[in-house]
């Protein structure tokens, strides 16, 4: 089958950690012997903070120069990517209109790609701007269109920007399936919008990379070794984790892997409070696996999380998880078996959950086995493709 995959986030040699889940989705489809072309909708519009309250010419120039130096087409570990450079409006004012900008400035190129490739299935990642392109693509070729709604767009975008209700209306009219990545996300999303044709297909993890190592789990230490991974942004809630370490009442060492806008703030907090925390930048997935093998507990204090892929990767390596009671974490973190949950924003509950986890006799092997049986990108690909026969059955029944 020939598949066209649309996203605004995909890894490259310049940004190897951007949208890596999209890479794994595509590779899982390729492993089932399907041909996949990825359309990367990459904006060259400078960030709003580079323009207001006054223009910053140096940063604007550097941003545009960086985007323009990237090749229009490239291959990334076996995936053919067509990079579509585009102008996007300031999201603060026109987020809901971004898909219109794509159609206006880049519609002709997308039309040529669809006409040349003649895909049998289109999959888009994210609520905006890829999913609303279903309206345009359906006019070019009447082919199945699946829109995957990621957590950041679906659960947070409507709070920051306007226009989500209009986008959902387009999805309901032109998308054959609207895919949610967890049952919890589906419930949360349906409380916000009347989504038609919703179906849950859980995210996965790379089984070849994230594996259990029983030898590494025999290491004994009196210090609780904690690891957390994620963007250093408010939504990931690492400030909650850092505050929970104050008064923990036991020796600990936290490795915090990630980068982001709040890094300087976190470093200052760590220094002022004398916390035993090591902040390190992004790691390759192989290096991250080794970090998981060297630690005792994974923490994910997110304020919002549609699925929580990194938590599943940690569990695949046998680590128990302490996480916020949000999104798909409510499904993957099973009390006393794969970890503990804490109320969102509660520093005290998160601290108690860490203390409880440190006193629990975990079956690391069982955690890894359970995770391997329940999740995987191969499972994701099989479930996505199984939706196509369902469409045929529906058409015959009409």
d(CA 167, CA 292): 39
DSSP calls for 128-185: TTTGGGHHHHHHH----EEEEE-HIIIIIIHHHSS-HHHHHHHHHHH-SEEEESSHHH
Comparing CA positions, the residue from 197, 79, 74, 188 lying closest to residue 146 is 197
Q: Which residues pair with 341 in a beta bridge?
A: 323
Q: Which helix (H) or strand (E) holds 242?
A: helix 238-244
Q: What is the DSSP letter of 45?
A: P
| Nearby residues of 81 by Cβ (< 8 Å), 6 or more positions away | 10, 12, 38, 39, 40, 73, 74, 75
Residue 262 dihedral angles phi and psi, to the nearest 5°: -100, 10
Locate tokens 């804490």: which residue?
Answer: 342
Comparing CA positions, the residue from 158, 119, 147, 124 lying closest to residue 8 is 124
Instruction: Categorize the per-residue pLDDT at 318 as very low, low, confident or very high, splitting at 50, 70 and 90.
Output: very high
> In this model, does residue 221 exceed pLDDT 80?
no
Instruction: Categorize the per-residue pLDDT at 218 as very low, low, confident or very high, splitting at 50, 70 and 90.
Output: low
d(CA 84, CA 112): 12
pLDDT at 226: 98
Q: Domains of the chain by range and CATH?
A: 2-204+377-397 (3.40.50.2000), 216-374 (3.40.50.2000)
d(CA 210, CA 213): 10
146-195 per-position pLDDT tens digit: 999 987 677 777 777 888 899 999 999 999 999 999 999 999 999 989 99
Say what the pTM is: 0.92
Comparing 104-108, 237-241, 277-281, the range with the smallest average pLDDT is 104-108
């Amino acid at each position: 089958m020939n598949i066209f995959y649309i996203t605004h986030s995909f890894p490259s040699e310049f940004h190897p950690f951007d949208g890596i889940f999209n890479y794994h989705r595509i590779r899982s489809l390729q492993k089932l012997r399907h041909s996949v072309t990825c359309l990367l909708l990459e904006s060259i519009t400078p960030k709003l903070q580079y323009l207001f309250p006054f223009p910053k010419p140096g940063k604007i120039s550097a941003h545009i120069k960086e985007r323009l130096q990237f090749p229009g087409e490239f291959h990334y570990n076996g995936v053919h990517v067509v990079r579509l450079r585009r102008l996007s409006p300031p999201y603060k004012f026109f987020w809901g209109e971004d898909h219109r900008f794509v159609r206006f400035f880049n519609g002709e190129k997308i039309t040529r790609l669809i006409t040349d490739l003649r895909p049998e299935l289109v999959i888009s990642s994210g609520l905006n701007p890829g999913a609303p392109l279903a309206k345009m693509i359906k006019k070019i070729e009447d082919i199945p269109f699946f829109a995957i709604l990621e957590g950041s767009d679906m659960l947070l975008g409507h709070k920051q920007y306007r226009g989500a209700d209009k986008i959902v209306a387009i999805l309901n009219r032109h998308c054959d399936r609207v895919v949610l990545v967890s049952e919890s996300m589906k419930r949360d999303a349906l409380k916000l919008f009347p989504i038609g044709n919703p179906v849950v297909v859980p995210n996965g993890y790379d089984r070849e990379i994230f594996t259990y190592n029983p030898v590494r789990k025999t290491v004994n230490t009196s210090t609780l070794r904690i690891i957390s991974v994620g963007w250093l942004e408010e939504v990931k809630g690492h400030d909650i984790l850092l505050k929970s370490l104050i008064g923990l009442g036991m020796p600990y060492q936290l490795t915090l892997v990630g980068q982001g806008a709040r890094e300087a703030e976190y470093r200052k907090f760590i220094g002022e409070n004398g916390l035993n925390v090591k902040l390190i930048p992004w790691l390759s997935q192989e290096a991250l696996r080794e970090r998981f093998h060297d630690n005792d507990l994974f923490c994910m204090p997110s304020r919002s999380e549609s699925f929580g892929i990194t938590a599943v990767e940690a569990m695949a390596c046998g680590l128990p998880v302490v996480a916020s009671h949000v999104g798909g974490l409510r499904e993957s973190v099973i009390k006393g078996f794969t970890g503990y949950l804490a109320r969102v924003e509660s520093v005290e509950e998160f601290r108690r959950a860490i203390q409880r986890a440190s006193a629990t006799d975990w079956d690391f092997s069982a955690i890894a086995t359970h995770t391997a049986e329940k999740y995987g990108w191969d499972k994701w690909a099989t479930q996505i493709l199984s939706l196509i026969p369902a469409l045929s059955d529906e058409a015959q029944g009409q």
